[in-house]
Amino acid sequence: MALYNRINGKELKEKLKLSDEQRTTISFYKYHYIIDPGAFRNELYKLLDQIQVLGRIYVAQEGINAQISVPSSQLDHFRIQLFRIDFLDGVRLNIAVDDNGKSFFKLKILVRKKIVADGLNDETFDVTNCGVHVDANQFNQLAENPDTVIVDMRNHYESEVGHFKNAICPDVDTFREELKVVGELLAEQKNKNLLMYCTGGIRCEKASAWFKHIGFKNVFQLNGGIIKYAQEVKEQGLENHFVGKNFVFDERLGERISNDIISVCHQCGNPCDNHTNCMNDGCHLLFIQCEECAVKYSECCSPECAEIFAMPVEKQKEIRKGINKGRQVFKKGRSENIVFKPIHQA
């Protein structure tokens, strides 16, 4: 059988859009030494493809990081098959909070050097010596302690649309950069409670071990991240300290956690927290756009991109020929076309 998707992405997106199949979005991760990531990747692809799982999974010698969607009718079967993999038996599965079943349109499993790019040399410290995991209730209690510093371990475009109350939200583009910035920012507060959170917990897993290594005494991390927190406060009737949306790395681009809208449209400045990608394939910038501006600019980030997007497809291809725009990782919300920019806490 084929071990890679061979169908055009646009066709798959359209198929997903028209499908009425119920699907459940799930994320999970596990740090575990994998001897042969390539072989593991191939076996995993065959297993998940048979269950019609869609999503994006990173595999490395240090473990696995997965964001997927599973046909809801296959959830029990998926869980049984996944748990048959020794090191994944009983792994926590984070179920999406605000899910329309349209999160992924194909299955993509990539072998990477690391499951999260952190820039750290794992041989220089004990990566298993992580912080204390806390649930939603414990997080809320720690958050009320005046000796606690709450830190958002996500990137600027994530915290822009949603974050915990009183959290420090560094204006950074990458997790690698964040580790350095936070370490320097809190260098004189190493005896305080360092309370960290991220989307599903994976970034805090590595960050907590690193911060303990460089001298922080009381390190805590939100177990299961924002996703698990939102579920626990709802199930247990706890006060929700998270305001806004939880940014997610799939087609949904966000989960509604509270009704608060804390960001603005990057083009007109009106309250808005809907991320989108510029429709000009030569740009594809990630930015925040309201419905009115989407109509005005044809879902593009600027009049210039809208003008190109209106051209015949062949003309568009000719314009961007030979120009490698990459994944635009370092331009998410950072463009000269962005008029209204966020103010970050740091």
Please, which pLDDT band fits residue 82 given cuts at 50, 70 and 90?
Answer: very high
Q: Is a pLDDT exceeding 80 seen at residue 323?
A: no
Q: Tell me the average pLDDT of the chain.
A: 92
Q: Is a pLDDT exceeding 90 seen at residue 2?
A: no
For residue 35, the model assigns a pLDDT of: 97
Neighbours of 282 (CB within 10 A): 15
Q: What is the average pLDDT across 304-320?
A: 92
For residue 44, the model assigns a pLDDT of: 98
The tokens of 262 are what?
A: 């804390």
Domains of the chain: 9-111 (3.30.70.100), 125-236 (3.40.250.10), 263-346 (no CATH)
- Dist CA 132 CA 141 (whole Å): 14
For residue 321, the model assigns a pLDDT of: 81
339 φ, ψ (degrees, to nearest 5) = -85, -50
Q: Is the dihedral of CA 190, 194, 198, 201 positive or negative?
A: positive
Q: Is a pLDDT exceeding 80 seen at residue 164?
A: yes
CB 345 within 8 A of CB 262: no
pTM reported for the whole predicted model: 0.90
Q: Is a pLDDT exceeding 70 seen at residue 17?
A: yes
For residue 199, the model assigns a pLDDT of: 97
Nearest to 57 by CA among 203, 189, 249: 249
For residue 319, the model assigns a pLDDT of: 87
**Facing residues of 71 across strands?**
23
334 vs 273 pLDDT, higher one? 273
Please, which pLDDT band fits residue 159 given cuts at 50, 70 and 90?
Answer: very high
Please give the share of the chain, as a percent, with pLDDT higher than 90.
Answer: 83
The DSSP-derived string for 186-226 is TTT-TTSEEEEE-SSSHHHHHHHHHHHHTT-SEEEEETTHH
Which of the residue ranges 124-128, 151-155, 226-230 would you say has the lowest mean pLDDT?
124-128
For residue 330, the model assigns a pLDDT of: 43
Q: Which amino acid is at 9?
A: G
Chain centre to alpha carbon of residue 75: 22
For residue 12, the model assigns a pLDDT of: 79
For residue 331, the model assigns a pLDDT of: 60
108-129 pLDDT, tens digit per residue, is: 999 999 999 999 999 999 999 9
234: left (phi over 0), alpha (psi -120 to 50) or beta: alpha
What residues act catalytically?
Answer: 198
Nearest to 148 by CA among 178, 119, 168, 130: 168
For residue 144, the model assigns a pLDDT of: 97
For residue 329, the model assigns a pLDDT of: 40
- Dist CA 328 CA 324 (whole Å): 10
231-282 pLDDT, tens digit per residue, is: 999 999 999 999 999 999 999 999 999 999 999 999 999 999 999 999 998 8
For residue 203, the model assigns a pLDDT of: 97
23-63 pLDDT, tens digit per residue, is: 999 999 999 999 999 999 999 999 999 999 999 999 999 99
The tokens of 15 are what?
A: 């198929």
For residue 24, the model assigns a pLDDT of: 97
For residue 161, the model assigns a pLDDT of: 96
**CA within 13 Å, CB half, 124:** 8
